[in-house]
Amino acid sequence: MIDLVDLRKQYKTLEALKGVSLRVASGELFAYLGPNGAGKTTTIRILTGLTRPSGGRALIGGHDVEKEPLKAKRHQGLVPQHINLDAELTVEENLIIHGRLHRMAPSDIRSRINDLLGYVGLEEKRTSLVKRLSGGMKRRLMIARALLHRPGVLFLDEPTVGLDPAIRRRIWSLIKKIQQDGVTVFLTTHYIEEAEFLADRVAFIDEGRIVALDTPRRLMDDLGQWAIDVYQENDMVTRYFPDRESARRYAEEHRDGYALRRVNLEDVFLTYTGKKVA
């Protein structure tokens, strides 16, 4: 559904993307992770037609985003990081405007609104002004708006930023439901546990290049099953082990301050880049 071939982007002296190539299958939930400035936002801006690439190709549903922008955009829905709903309009009015922009028939707009408000749990908020909604409700409304025109691909750029853990988990459940309904999901997030829980595959990007790409489980298994964080003066060193027994033996030999835990995706990223995801 998404195909990037040697994608490049140059901003004067800054090379934001340095030949990114990847494929996302139809129905896949794909997480795209990296530190600030790594190239995540640039990639999404190119895929959604907001920025032109300097080289390479980007295709959505087989359509080149440069040569066939309208056809490519019909396949996609976008939930940006920042809330961009019209706060002075109602929930329903925000959705009606989006449907009209996509030239949907009025009867189709009404039908989709009815379905989607139930889908995201906002049916009782239909006539509420957006400015009266909670942060989690606004996020769910933005997801409903992005799905209104039945896109094949949903881009989620930091969809749970600023939400409390309970609301974040509710959004996670909604995202999985969207994927199960056949929509391809392209997710960027700074919450490493979000990608670990949701994604079928993960790509780590750093300084404009893909540095790792695989399933979360395989990426973590390449390091080991268990990790020991050893606390040293002004520093912490992490060692990885294939099983808990190996980690236990190491801990017995090094009794000074340490913590035993499971390997996670942040360990993978730190190993490849030496940087934190956020």
**56 vs 38 pLDDT, higher one:** 56
Amino acid 122: pLDDT: 95
Q: Give tens-digit pLDDT for 255-275.
A: 667 888 999 999 998 888 775
DSSP assignment string, 185-211: EEEE-S-HHHHHHH-SEEEEEETTEEE
Amino acid 278: pLDDT: 45
Amino acid 175: pLDDT: 94
CATH superfamily of 2-218: P-loop containing nucleotide triphosphate hydrolases (3.40.50.300)
**241 vs 272 pLDDT, higher one:** 241
**pLDDT exceeding 90 applies to what percent of the chain?**
76
**249 vs 89 pLDDT, higher one:** 89
Q: Give tens-digit pLDDT for 48-87.
A: 999 999 999 999 999 999 999 999 998 999 999 899 999 9
Closest CA to 77 of 104, 102, 113: 102
**pTM beyond cutoff 0.85:** yes
Please, which pLDDT band fits residue 231 given cuts at 50, 70 and 90? confident
Cβ atoms 212, 220 nearer than 8 A: no
The residue-averaged pLDDT of 220-249 equals: 88
Any alpha helices (H) in 80-215, and if so which ranges?
91-101, 106-119, 135-147, 165-180, 192-198
Closest CA to 226 of 213, 242, 214: 242
DSSP assignment string, 14-81: EEEEEEEEEEE-TT-EEEEE--TTSSHHHHHHHHTTSS--SEEEEEETTEETTTSHHHHHHTEEEE-S
Domain spans of the chain, in order of start: 2-218, 224-273
